[in-house]
A = this chain, B = another copy of it.
Amino acid sequence: MHHIFGHTSPDTDAFASAFALAYWLNAQHINAIAYRLGEPNLETAFVIRHLFAHFTKDFADTPSQLLPYLDPNNPLATLQHGDKIGLTDHNESSQSIANVGDFDICFVIDHHKINLATPHTAYVRISPVGCTCTILYEMFAQKAIAIPPSLAMLMLSAIISDTLNLTSPTTTNDDRQVVENLLKIIGLSHDDKDKFAHAMFMAKSDISHLDARQILLMDYKEYDFCGHKWGIAGIETLNSEQVLARRDELSVMANTLKSDKNLDHLMIAIADIGTKTGYALAYDDAQNTIIAQAFNAKASDDGVFTLSGVVSRKRQIVPALENYYRHTPNNTT
């Protein structure tokens, strides 16, 4: 049995890519089961509800959250040492289950930078495309394995999510081509795809019932920049005003999380999907200095950096901070 999962704090691609890889393996009579390492976020929950409503039969025996839970802090509750595993939408151990090296990594499908060592030759496909599901589509095509409409809808949702409906700077021609092919499989028009994307982003934007901690951990990743430990909490929204209105509450919680997680800095990076504008909260003097320099920006009097066009953590925010640390000798912050 192969145990497949995406990263912790799972997003739509983490769900979809794990589900798709397990499907691809089972179609080749290689036993596989997919898991989630956490609860679906608002957008992913919307996608799952849509799938269950429109492809009811396909998901009749499926757990209510699409995938069964695997506790990333206690994987041995589900797995045994040496079990065969597959990682999707991540490859770095910091984003995976605890002690991932104790298991037999057989598959890695991802679209992030690589930092990986395996004792045996694994099947590894990593590509600088916008979404892991774009790579998985190519794997299905290569083996001539048919993608049922329900799975195509799930994979399409992941690509829409990761590429902000093909508008993010991470989008490649491969992503665009795969979207065309998936639309044909589903029988969905471009118009309906755009409406669905809007509904996904609306679902993600409705954070009124979430507390500050939940908002910051919704799409949270950690990075090491020249020995400086950063957390970057991403908040993609169609309603940036609603998020900015809660900046005091978010700033207080950011300081708490910073100390809980032993971070040097925690950046709150808001991306307005509608206007394609990025915002960062200016809540800490030392961090403000870095953000100002890294993005050549100035905080407003009410404590907000406006980062025009900056909507991708991977393609824009992380490289800017890497660049800052690389070119700022003797920085001590």
Contacts and interface: CB of A to CB of B under 8 A. Distances in A.
A126 B127 contact: no
A112 B127 CA distance: 18
A117 B118 CA distance: 12
Interface in A111-130: 111-128
A327 to B, nearest CB: 14
A138 interface: yes
A177 B27 CA distance: 19
A142 interface: yes
A127 B123 CA distance: 4
A128 B123 contact: yes
A124 B125 contact: yes
A141 interface: yes
A171 B248 CA distance: 61
A125 B125 contact: yes
Interface string A96-114: 0000000000000001111
Q: How large is the interface on A (under 10, 10 to 19, 20 to 34, 35 or more residues)?
A: 20 to 34
B123 A126 contact: yes
A120 B128 contact: yes
A142 B178 CA distance: 13
A126 B124 contact: yes
Nearest to A120: B113
A322 B118 CA distance: 13
Interface in A125-179: 125-128, 138, 141-142
B120 A117 contact: no
Contacts of A111: 121
B118 A122 contact: no
Contact of A127 (B117, B124, B141): B124
Contact of A112 (B112, B121, B123, B314): B121
A138 B127 contact: no
A116 to B, nearest CB: 6
A117 to B, nearest CB: 4
A161 to B, nearest CB: 18
A121 to B, nearest CB: 4
B126 A121 contact: yes
B115 A122 contact: no
Interface in A259-317: 314
Contact of A121 (B122, B128, B141): B128
A126 B123 CA distance: 6
A113 B142 CA distance: 23
A181 to B, nearest CB: 13
A102 B61 CA distance: 51
Contacts of A117: 113-116
B119 A113 contact: yes
25 contacts: A111-B121, A112-B121, A113-B117, A113-B118, A113-B119, A113-B120, A113-B122, A114-B114, A114-B117, A114-B124, A115-B116, A116-B116, A119-B322, A120-B128, A121-B127, A121-B128, A122-B126, A122-B128, A123-B126, A123-B127, A123-B128, A124-B126, A124-B127, A141-B142, A142-B142
Rank and list the top 9 A-B pairs by shortest CB-CB distance, nearest first: A124-B126, A121-B128, A115-B117, A113-B121, A114-B118, A123-B127, A113-B118, A114-B116, A113-B120
